[in-house]
Amino acid sequence: MTQIRIAGFGGQGVILAGVILGEAAAIEGLNVLQTQDYGSQSRGGHSVADVIISREPLYDVMVTKADVLMAMSQIGYNGAIDSLREGGTLIIDTDLVKSDREFIGAPFTRLAEEKVGLALTVNMVALGYLVAKTGIVKKESVEEAIRRRVPRGTEEINLKAFRIGYEEGVK
Amino acid sequence: MYLESSYKIRDKYLRTDMLPTMFCPGCGIGSVLQFTLRSIEELGWKQDEVVWVSGIGCSSRVPGYVNFDGLHTTHGRALAFATGIKMANPDLKVVVFAGDGDMSAIGGNHFIHAIRRNLDVTVILINNFTYGMTGGQVAPTALKGLKGTTAPYGNFENPFDISQLAVAAGANYVARWSVFNYVQGMNSIKKALQKKGFSLVEFLSPCPVSFGRRNRMKTAPELIRWYQKITVPISKAKKMSPEELEGKVIIGEFVDRDRPSLDEEYERYKERAKKLMGWEE
Amino acid sequence: MRYPFSVGRSDFIQGDEAIARAAILAGCRFYAGYPITPASEIFEAMALYMPLVDGVSIQMEDELGSIAAVIGASWTGAKAMTATSGPGFSLMMENLGYAVMTETPMVVVDVQRGGPSTGQPTLAAQGDVMQAIWGTHGDHSIIVLTPATVQEAFDMTIRAFNLAEKYRTPVVLLTDGEVGHMRERVNIPDPDEIERIYRKIPKSKEQGKYPFRDWDGDGVPPMPVFGRGYRAYITGLTHDERGKPKTVEAEIHESLIRRIVDKIEKNKKDIIDYETFDLDDADVAIVSYGIASRSAIRAVKILRKEGIKAGLLKLNVVWPFDFEMIERIAERVNRIYVAEMNLGQVYHLVKEGANGKAEVELIPKIGGEVHTPKDIIERVR
pLDDT for the residue C205: 84
Identify the H or E element spanning B71. strand B69-72
pLDDT of B1 strictly over 80:
no
Burial class (CB in 10 A: 0-12, 13-18, 19+), A98: exposed
Which residue in B73, B88, B110 is closest to C76 by CB distance?
Answer: B88
- For residue range B180-198, list pLDDT tens digits in order: 999 999 999 999 999 999 9
Instruction: List chain B residues with CB under 8 Å of C27.
Output: none
Instruction: Pick the residue from chain C with its C-alpha nearest to A19.
Output: C183
Do A62 and C179 form a contact (C-beta atoms < 8 A)? no
Crossing angle of helices C40-49/C15-26, nearest 10°?
A: 40
Instruction: List chain A residues with CB under 8 Å of C374.
Output: 64
Q: Could B49 and C227 be called an inter-chain contact, meaning their C-beta atoms sit closer than 8 Å?
A: yes
Domain residue extents for chain A: 2-170
Average of per-residue pLDDT across C88-112: 97
pLDDT for the residue A40: 62
Q: Could C10 and A19 be called an inter-chain contact, meaning their C-beta atoms sit closer than 8 Å?
A: no
- Pairing type for strands A46-54 and A2-9 reads antiparallel
Query: How long, in residues, is chain B?
Result: 281
Q: Could A61 and C295 be called an inter-chain contact, meaning their C-beta atoms sit closer than 8 Å?
A: yes
Put simply, whether C235 touches A (Cβ < 8 Å) is no
Instruction: Pick the residue from chain C with its C-alpha nearest to A33.
Output: C184
Instruction: List chain C residues with CB under 8 Å of B82.
Output: 72
Report the candidate in A54, A15, A68 with the shortest Cα–Cα distance to residue A38: A15
- For residue range B210-259, list pLDDT tens digits in order: 999 999 999 999 999 999 999 999 999 999 999 999 999 999 999 999 99
pLDDT of C355 strictly over 70:
yes
Q: Report yes or no on chains A and B touching (3+ CB pairs under 8 A).
A: no
pLDDT for the residue A46: 84
Alpha carbons within 13 angstroms on the beta-carbon side of residue A156 total 2
Instruction: List chain C residues with CB under 8 Å of B113.
Output: 60-61, 65
Domain residue extents for chain B: 6-276
Let me know if domain B6-276 sits in CATH 3.30.390.50.
no
- Return the HEC string of chain C: CCCCCCCCEEEEEEHHHHHHHHHHHHCEEEEEECCCCCCHHHHHHHHHHHHHHCCEEEECCCHHHHHHHHHHHHCCCCEEEEEECHHHHHHHHHHHHHHHHCCCCEEEEEEECECCCCCECCCCCCCCHHHHHHCCCCCCCCEEECCCCHHHHHHHHHHHHHHHHHHCCEEEEEEEHHHHHCEEEEEECCHHHCCCCCCCCCCCHHHHHCCCCCCCCCCCCCCCCCCCCCCCEEECCCECCCCCECCCCHHHHHHHHHHHHHHHHCCHHHHCCEEEECCCCCCEEEEEEHHHHHHHHHHHHHHHHCCCCEEEEEECEEECCCHHHHHHHHHHCCEEEEEECCCCCHHHHHHHHHCCCCEEEEEECCCCCCCCHHHHHHHHC
Instruction: List chain B residues with CB under 8 Å of C62.
Output: 109
Average of per-residue pLDDT across A7-36: 94
Q: Which of residues 117-136 of A touch C (CB under 8 A)?
A: none
Do C338 and C318 form a contact (C-beta atoms < 8 A)? no
Q: Could C30 and B63 be called an inter-chain contact, meaning their C-beta atoms sit closer than 8 Å?
A: no
Put simply, whether B279 touches C (Cβ < 8 Å) is yes
Which residue in B74, B89, B269 is closest to C98 by CB distance?
Answer: B74
Identify the H or E element spanning B127. strand B121-127
Q: Could C294 and A59 be called an inter-chain contact, meaning their C-beta atoms sit closer than 8 Å?
A: yes
Report the candidate in A39, A106, A41 with the shortest Cα–Cα distance to residue A72: A106
Instruction: Pick the residue from chain B with its C-alpha nearest to C66.
Output: B80
Which residue in B18, B84, B113 is closest to C70 by CB distance?
Answer: B84
Average of per-residue pLDDT across A105-122: 94
Q: Could C236 and B72 be called an inter-chain contact, meaning their C-beta atoms sit closer than 8 Å?
A: yes
**d(C-alpha C323, C-alpha C130), whole Å:** 16
Which residue in B17, B69, B274 is closest to C226 by CB distance?
Answer: B69
Average of per-residue pLDDT across B142-150: 94
Complex ipTM above 0.85? yes
Which residue in C181, C185, C298 is closest to A32 by CB distance?
Answer: C185
Instruction: List chain C residues with CB under 8 Å of B112.
Output: 61
pLDDT band (50, 70, 90) for residue C11: very high
Percent of chain C with pLDDT over 70: 100
Q: Could C182 and A23 be called an inter-chain contact, meaning their C-beta atoms sit closer than 8 Å?
A: no
Q: Which of residues 8-67 of C touch A (CB under 8 A)?
A: 10-12
Which residue in A34, A40, A60 is closest to C298 by CB distance?
Answer: A60
- For residue range C27-62, list pLDDT tens digits in order: 999 999 999 989 999 999 999 999 999 999 999 999
pLDDT for the residue A161: 96
Q: Which CATH number fits domain A2-170: 3.40.920.10, 1.20.90.10, 3.40.309.10, 2.60.40.10?
A: 3.40.920.10
pTM of model > 0.90: yes
Give long-range contacts, CB 8 A cutoff, 24+ apart: A94-100: A96/A72, A97/A71, A97/A72, A97/A73, A98/A74, A99/A71
Identify the H or E element spanning A133. helix A122-134
Put simply, whether B77 touches C (Cβ < 8 Å) is yes
Q: How far is A23 from chain C (nearest CA, A)?
A: 6
Q: How far is B270 from chain C (nearest CA, A)?
A: 5
How many C-beta neighbours within 10 Å does residue C104 have?
25
Instruction: List chain C residues with CB under 8 Å of B84.
Output: 30, 32, 68-76, 80
Q: Report yes or no on chains A and C touching (3+ CB pairs under 8 A).
A: yes
- For residue range B65-123, list pLDDT tens digits in order: 999 999 999 999 999 999 999 999 999 999 999 999 999 999 999 999 999 999 999 99
Which residue in C185, C370, C374 is closest to A61 by CB distance?
Answer: C370
pLDDT band (50, 70, 90) for residue B202: very high
Put simply, whether C291 touches A (Cβ < 8 Å) is yes
Complete domains list, chain C, with CATH: 9-193 (3.40.50.970), 205-269 (no CATH), 273-380 (3.40.50.920)
pLDDT for the residue A41: 64
Q: How far is C356 from chain B (nearest CA, A)?
A: 43
- For residue range C291-310, list pLDDT tens digits in order: 999 999 999 999 999 999 99
pLDDT of C211 strictly over 90:
no
Percent of chain A with pLDDT over 70: 98
Q: How far is B105 from chain C (nearest CA, A)?
A: 15
Please report the number of interchain residue pairs, chain A to chain C, with beta-carbon separation below 8 angstroms: 51
- B170-206: b or e for each residue (b if 16 or more CB lie within 10 Å)? bbbbbbbbbbbbbebbbbbbbbbbebbbbbbbbbbbb
pLDDT for the residue A29: 93
pLDDT of A42 strictly over 90:
no
pLDDT of B135 strictly over 80:
yes
Query: How long, in residues, is chain A?
Result: 171
Put simply, whether B275 touches C (Cβ < 8 Å) is no
Contacts of residue B99, defined as CB under 8 A and 6 or more positions apart, other chains included, come to B55, B57, B58, B59, B60, B125, B126, B127, B128, B131, B132
pLDDT band (50, 70, 90) for residue C273: very high
pLDDT band (50, 70, 90) for residue C71: very high
List all chains that touch chain B, counting a touch as 3 or more CB pairs closer than 8 Å. C
Average of per-residue pLDDT across A120-125: 95
Instruction: List chain C residues with CB under 8 Å of A61.
Output: 178, 182, 291, 294-295, 370
Do C145 and C160 form a contact (C-beta atoms < 8 A)? yes
pLDDT for the residue C1: 87
Q: Report yes or no on chains C and B touching (3+ CB pairs under 8 A).
A: yes
Put simply, whether A32 touches C (Cβ < 8 Å) is yes
Instruction: Pick the residue from chain A with its C-alpha nearest to C11.
Output: A26
Q: A105: phi > 0 → left, psi -120 to 50 → alpha, else beta; which?
A: left
Contacts of residue B233, defined as CB under 8 A and 6 or more positions apart, other chains included, come to B250, B251, B252
Q: Could B17 and C242 be called an inter-chain contact, meaning their C-beta atoms sit closer than 8 Å?
A: yes
pLDDT for the residue A39: 67
Average of per-residue pLDDT across A101-128: 94
Selected residue of C205, C231, C238, C240 to mutate for chain B interface (largest B Cβ count, 10 A): C231
Report the candidate in A118, A44, A33, A124 with the shortest Cα–Cα distance to residue A76: A44
**d(C-alpha A79, C-alpha A48), whole Å:** 9
